[in-house]
Amino acid sequence: MPTPLEARLQPLEAVLQKAQIRYQSLSPMADTGLAHDHVWIHRDGGDWVARLPKQSQMNLGPADNLAYEAACYQRASQGGHVPRLHGLLEVSDALPRGGLLVDAISGQLAQLPQDLPRIAETLASLHRLPLPDQPAPLLAPADPWRAMREEVARQSEWLEQADLSAEVVARIRDELAALPTALADAERCLISFDTHPGNFLIDAEGRAVLVDLEKCRYGLPGIDLAHTSLYTSTTWDLNSQAVLSLDEVIGFYRRWQAAMGKSPSADTLVACRRATWLWSLTWCAKWRAQHLRAKDAQQRGEDWSAELTDATVIAHVRDRVEHYLSPPIIDHVQDELQRLRATL
């Protein structure tokens, strides 16, 4: 029986041929994520990758989601550390969620802690980009900290539906209640919002290339820094796992600050780190509550059904979700946050 990705190859071939896109061959890439299938397109003049959405993590309809992802690549690639966008595969019967054509990046998965300086420089290249006059379609809340708190609060509604222990739910809710209501220096910039280390490849030139973008917005850079270096991020990817020491985390922040030439306060950076951790925990609760549902036959917005992804990947995600929602790991991250506040 063909995998979900294998079943999409023939329609993809038909769409590429209809669009008169020349290529030598197509190679399905390993199914490693919950949001996209990927196909390597071998072609003269430089290979591409077709990114074929399985769902919309922004909970958008297929066409709007495709436009949003395209804007992510168009904006972020201006920093020089993101694949360039070459075209869109429109939503159709053959590809119900469409697809993007982007540069194929040959490289190795980032390894921590040795590649943290390269990742810090890549994030700075993104965060230094000037704000556009018209940020749409990307999210650009006037108060990005309030928007982050509200997003985490919405996800926290799944805590009571995820069959978690009363202790875990109470501890997460206590952390949510402790988030500050405002930040004194919440300056916006373009952020990825999904910078766990598994989304970076180290190319032949030694650059860290951020290859997976779909949730960019104009928000707080501390969210990206946290998402790169939190325990819940550095131990997420199946092929790139590490537990960072406090000194390694601080060194990563310092390298980013040097590349930026300016930085939010330590209080703001730690608040963003706590909020990002809580975003991850509440996402885990949501996934735990939703992943056994049947996939959405109409292929509309967000869809965490396990039917869309390879069983090995689902088993890995389930293991990580249970791990991150366990009291010992909550203890571990809380301890790190307290120590980081005193030393950053």
Q: CB–CB of 320/32 below 8 Å?
A: no
What residue has token string 């992943």? 291
Query: Is the four-CA dihedral 203, 222, 258, 112 of positive or negative sign?
Result: negative
Q: CB–CB of 253/269 below 8 Å?
A: yes
State pTM to two decimals.
0.94
Amino acid letter for position 215? K
Domains defined along the chain, listed by start: 8-106 (3.30.200.20), 108-343 (3.90.1200.10)
Tens of pLDDT, residue by residue, the chain (344 residues): 556 666 778 899 999 999 999 999 999 998 888 889 999 999 999 999 999 999 999 999 999 999 999 999 999 999 999 999 999 999 999 999 999 999 999 999 999 999 999 999 999 999 999 999 999 999 999 999 999 999 999 999 999 999 999 999 999 999 999 999 999 898 999 999 999 999 999 999 999 999 999 999 999 999 999 999 999 999 998 777 899 999 999 999 999 999 999 999 999 999 999 999 999 999 999 999 998 888 878 777 787 787 888 899 899 999 999 999 999 999 999 999 999 988 88
Nearest-CA neighbor of 325 among 243, 242, 232, 240?
232
Other C-beta atoms closer than 10 Å to the C-beta of 1 total: 4
Q: In sequence order, which ranges of 3-115 are alpha helices (DSSP H)?
A: 6-18, 62-76
